[in-house]
C-alpha cells in the first residue's frame, strides 16, 4: 500500500517531458544565460581591454580581442610605485575602517539590544535619526569639522568619521535581539558580568552579521570617491579610486590599456572577497537590503 503511494507520488513529482516542457526549459535557460551575460559583460570587457595595447582599446576598425595579449600591462602598472603604494594604503585603510566600525557599532548594538539604562529610548531615537541625514547635506560641514580637527590629508580622515553608522548598529542589534535571553541568564547565574557576556557569548555568535557588515564596510571604504577627493590632497596618500580617476583624466587617453589593467587589479580584492563570502552575503540580502 505504502509502496504504491510512494510510486504514485514519484510519478506525480516527475515533470511531464512533453515538447512544451522542453521548450519551456530551453527558454528558461536562454533567458538565464542572457541575464548572466548582460550582467557580467562589462566586467569581461574590462578584463579583455586590460590586455590591449595603448591604441587598441579604442580603435577603428573595431577589434573585440587584442591582437597580442599584453601581459606587460599588468607588469607595468604593478611596476608603478604609486599604484602599489595606493593599493597598499587603501587596503590598510579599509581593514582599519572595517575593524573600527565593527567594534564601535557592535558594542553600541549590544547595549541597545540587551542592556537597561536611563534614556535608552531617547538615545535610540537620536541614533536612528542620524540614518536619515543624507551625506550631501552634511558634506561641507563635515569637511569643516575635520579641517578644524586637523585631520585633513591623513588616514584618520578616511577611517574615523564614517566608522559609526546607525544602519550598522541597527543591523547588528536586530541580530542580537534574536539571541535567546536564557543563554545570557545562564551566564549571569554563573557569575559573568556584562562585558564577559559580550566578549565570550555574543562575539562568538556574531559571525553572520559581522561577515555581512564587515564586507559592506570594506567595500564602502574601498569604493569611496567623493569624500577622499575633498579631504586627501597629496597624490601619495590618494585612495585607489582617486588614483584611477586621476590617471584617467591625466594619462588615460594615451594609456588606456594600462588604466584598464589597473582597474582590474583595483576590482580584484572586492571580487575575491565577494566570491569567498557570496553565500553569506546573498543569504543575508533581505535583511541587509532593508537597512
Partner 1 sequence: MTVTHPTMTETEALIVPDARAARHRHRRYLYRDGKIAYWLLLPAVVLLAIFVIWPAIYAAYLSFHDWSFYKAPEFVGWRNYANVLTDPLFWAAIGRGFVFVAMTVPPMLLLAFGFSSLVVAVSRHFASTLKVSIYLPTIISTVITSIIFVVIYDYSGGLLNAFLGLFGIDPVAWLGDPKWALLAIAIPAIWLGMGLTSLIMVAAMIDIPTEYYEAAAMEGANWWQKTFFITIPQMKNIILYLLVTGFVAAIQQLDLPLVMTQGGPLDSTTLPNLFIFNHFTNDVNVGYSIAAALLLFVVLGTVSALIFRFVNSERLVD
Cβ 273 to partner 1 shortest distance, Å: 8
* Residue (12 or 19) nearer to partner 1, CB: 12
Query: What DSSP string describes 216-235?
Result: HHHHHHHH--HHHHHH--SG
Min dist. Cβ of residue 7 to partner 1 (A): 21
Task: Please answer whether residues 273 and 218 qualify as being in contact, where contact means their C-beta atoms are separated by less than 8 angstroms.
Answer: yes
Instruction: Report the residue number, 6 or 130, with the smaller CB distance to partner 1.
Output: 130
In the bound state with partner 1, the residue whose beta carbon lies nearer, of 188 and 205, is 188
**Residue located via cell numbers 563570502:** 277
Q: Tell me the closest approach of the beta carbon of residue 125 to partner 1, in angstroms.
A: 11
- Using DSSP's 3-state secondary structure scheme, residue 151 falls into coil
CB closer to partner 1 out of 232 and 260: 260
Closer to partner 1 by Cβ: residue 180 or 193: 193
User: Minimum distance from CB of 104 to partner 1 (Å)?
Assistant: 5
Q: How far is the CB of 135 from partner 1 (least distance, A)?
A: 8
C-alpha cell at position 143? 569637511
Cβ closer to partner 1: 44 or 84? 44
Q: Which of 47, 52, 45, 46 is nearest to 67 (CA)?
A: 52
Helices 166-177 and 207-223: angle between axes, nearest 10 degrees:
170
- In angstroms, give the least distance from the CB of 129 to partner 1: 8
Which stretches of the chain are DSSP H helices? Answer: 2-13, 19-49, 72-79, 81-114, 120-130, 135-148, 155-159, 166-177, 181-189, 194-197, 203-205, 207-223, 226-231, 240-247, 256-283, 285-289
Of the two residues 1 and 148, which places its CB atom closer to partner 1 in the complex? 148
Contact (Cβ atoms closer than 8 angstroms) between residue 213 and residue 101:
yes
CB of 88 to partner 1, least distance (A): 17
256-283 helix and 72-79 helix, angle to the nearest 10 degrees = 90
Amino acid at each position: 500500500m505504502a509502496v504504491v503511494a510512494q510510486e504514485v507520488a514519484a510519478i506525480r513529482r516527475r515533470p511531464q517531458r512533453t515538447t512544451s516542457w522542453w521548450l519551456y526549459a530551453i527558454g528558461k535557460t536562454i533567458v538565464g544565460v542572457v541575464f548572466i551575460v548582460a550582467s557580467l559583460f562589462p566586467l569581461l570587457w574590462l578584463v579583455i581591454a586590460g590586455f590591449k595595447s595603448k591604441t587598441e582599446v579604442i580603435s577603428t576598425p573595431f577589434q573585440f580581442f587584442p591582437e597580442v595579449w599584453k601581459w606587460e600591462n599588468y607588469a607595468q602598472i604593478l611596476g608603478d610605485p604609486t599604484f602599489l603604494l595606493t593599493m597598499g594604503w587603501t587596503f590598510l585603510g579599509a581593514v582599519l575602517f572595517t575593524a573600527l566600525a565593527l567594534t564601535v557599532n557592535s558594542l553600541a548594538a549590544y547595549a541597545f539590544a540587551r542592556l537597561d539604562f536611563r534614556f535608552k529610548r531617547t538615545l535610540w531615537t537620536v541614533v536612528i535619526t542620524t540614518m536619515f541625514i543624507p551625506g550631501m547635506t552634511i558634506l561641507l560641514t563635515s569637511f569643516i569639522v575635520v579641517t578644524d580637527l586637523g585631520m585633513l590629508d591623513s588616514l584618520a580622515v578616511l577611517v574615523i568619521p564614517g566608522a559609526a553608522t546607525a544602519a550598522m548598529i541597527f543591523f547588528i542589534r536586530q541580530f542580537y535581539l534574536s539571541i535567546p535571553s536564557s543563554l545570557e541568564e545562564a551566564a549571569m547565574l554563573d557569575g559573568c558580568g556584562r562585558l564577559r557576556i559580550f566578549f565570550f557569548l555574543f562575539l562568538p555568535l556574531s559571525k553572520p552579521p559581522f561577515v555581512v557588515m564587515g564586507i559592506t564596510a570594506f567595500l564602502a571604504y574601498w569604493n569611496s570617491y567623493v569624500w577622499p577627493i575633498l579631504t586627501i590632497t597629496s597624490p601619495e596618500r590618494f585612495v585607489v579610486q582617486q588614483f584611477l580617476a586621476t590617471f584617467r583624466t591625466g594619462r588615460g587617453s594615451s594609456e588606456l590599456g594600462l588604466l584598464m589593467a589597473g582597474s582590474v587589479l583595483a576590482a580584484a580584492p572586492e571580487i575575491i572577497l565577494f566570491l569567498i563570502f557570496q553565500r553569506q552575503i546573498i543569504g543575508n540580502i533581505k535583511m541587509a537590503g532593508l537597512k
